[in-house]
Amino acid sequence: MDGSLIDPCAHLPIYGNDTKMSLSKEQIARYSRQLILPEIGVRGQERLLASSVLIIGAGGLGCPAALYLVAAGVGRIGIMDRDAVAQSNLHRQILHGVADVGRPKSESAKARLQLLNPDVTLHAMQASLTPENALETLRDYDLVLDGSDNFPTRYLVNDACVLAGKPLVHGGVIQLRGQVLVVQPRRSACVRCVFPEPPPAGLVPNCQDAGVIGAAAGIIGSLMAQEAIKMLVGIGTPLTNRLLTFDGMAARVREVPVRRAMDCAVCGDSPTIRTLASDGLACDTHNQGASVGRSL
Ligand SMILES: [Zn+2]
């Protein structure tokens, strides 16, 4: 191994007063290119290794996001997906291969990710997020990344994160366009603040009907992973109160200012959603298509 990858620890920026080097030589080599970033340094890497992310959906968004979070050394990652890998998933759900068709996505994802970075503890959950299990599932994680493919699950994830006080990275993709929003519960706009109710079933096309380019899912999933890393390390300006929209056909990124709604049903001043079990929206999570995602 090139010694230059191991030796530069003397030059690594270290935040705060903690000058103790806790990283192994292997970790210093593995993470050297991000360790040398002044914003990360040893302390930032330690934070990543000590942090945890729950990824909802091992599909078009969850796959690229998981790859980058695992590669970056996020210490513990849960991957929740009830579906099995289908042939039509392979053009965008880049954790899965031909041999994985028919295999649970959560297991396929875990196997691929473990090969990438043995530092990371991976939990595969072949299940749907439901009103009954959402809060308990979220409890063990620092941050939630929503790569789900249907509106009921997205609203359930949003509501659960607000009720549990968990930061959320929300994203959606369809065709060549997508969007990302970071939610800091009760401190910034949540999904319901921006879109109070999901659209009626069938009104907005999904990827199964309208199609999606895999690279667009990769762009949005990568943005989501980067926002998660920023939040976990505590650097940069999070994508809060700004809805980032990406129009791949025009190759244009825009930012739509949004703000927390005082009359929001879940994070407003007088919320009507106080428990998940009473939220009828969450009951339909099993009846949606298996596509990668929809724009809100
Ligand atoms: Zn809200």
23 occurs within a structural domain: no
pLDDT at residue 53 is higher than 50: yes
**For a pLDDT cut of 90, what percent of the chain falls above it?**
81
Cα-to-centroid distance, 19 and ligand 1 (Å): 40
The packing angle between helices 214-233 and 62-72, to 10°, is 40
Average pLDDT over residues 16-39: 85
Q: pLDDT averaged over the chain? A: 89
Structure confidence at residue 116 as a pLDDT band (50, 70, 90): very high
pLDDT of residue 20: 61
**For a pLDDT cut of 70, what percent of the chain falls above it?**
86
Cα-to-centroid distance, 168 and ligand 1 (Å): 12
Q: Which two tokens stand for residue 286?
A: 């099993």
Structure confidence at residue 9 as a pLDDT band (50, 70, 90): very low
Cα-to-centroid distance, 255 and ligand 1 (Å): 19
pLDDT of residue 250: 98
CA-to-CA separations, 291 to 120, 124, 168, 180, 199, in angstroms, rounded: 28, 20, 21, 18, 17
71 occurs within a structural domain: yes
As to burial, measured by CB atoms within 10 angstroms (0-12 exposed, 13-18 middle, 19+ buried), residue 105 is buried
Q: By C-alpha distance, which of 169, 125, 170, 134 is closest to 278?
A: 134
pLDDT at residue 162 is higher than 50: yes
146 occurs within a structural domain: yes
Cα-to-centroid distance, 41 and ligand 1 (Å): 34
37 occurs within a structural domain: no
pLDDT of residue 265: 97
pLDDT single digits (tens) 209-251? 789 999 999 999 999 999 999 999 999 999 999 999 999 999 9
Average pLDDT over residues 188-201: 92
pLDDT single digits (tens) 168-189? 999 999 999 999 999 999 999 9
For residue 73, the domain's CATH number is 3.40.50.720
Cα-to-centroid distance, 68 and ligand 1 (Å): 28
Structure confidence at residue 131 as a pLDDT band (50, 70, 90): very high
Q: Which residues contact 143 (CB under 8 A, 6 or more apart)?
A: 51, 52, 53, 54, 166, 167, 168, 169, 228, 231, 232
pLDDT at residue 10 is higher than 90: no
pLDDT single digits (tens) 243-294? 999 999 999 999 999 999 999 999 999 999 999 974 444 433 333 333 333 3
pLDDT at residue 69 is higher than 80: yes
Domain span including residue 263: 51-284
pLDDT of residue 199: 82
Cα-to-centroid distance, 244 and ligand 1 (Å): 17
Cα-to-centroid distance, 138 and ligand 1 (Å): 18
What pTM did the predictor assign? Answer: 0.88
Average pLDDT over residues 35-60: 97
27 occurs within a structural domain: no
pLDDT of residue 279: 46
Average pLDDT over residues 55-59: 97
Structure confidence at residue 198 as a pLDDT band (50, 70, 90): confident
Token look-up 């762009």 returns 219
235 occurs within a structural domain: yes
Average pLDDT over residues 126-144: 97
Structure confidence at residue 157 as a pLDDT band (50, 70, 90): very high
Domains of the chain: total: 1
120 occurs within a structural domain: yes
Structure confidence at residue 21 as a pLDDT band (50, 70, 90): low
30 occurs within a structural domain: no
Cα-to-centroid distance, 160 and ligand 1 (Å): 12
Cα-to-centroid distance, 61 and ligand 1 (Å): 23
Structure confidence at residue 146 as a pLDDT band (50, 70, 90): very high
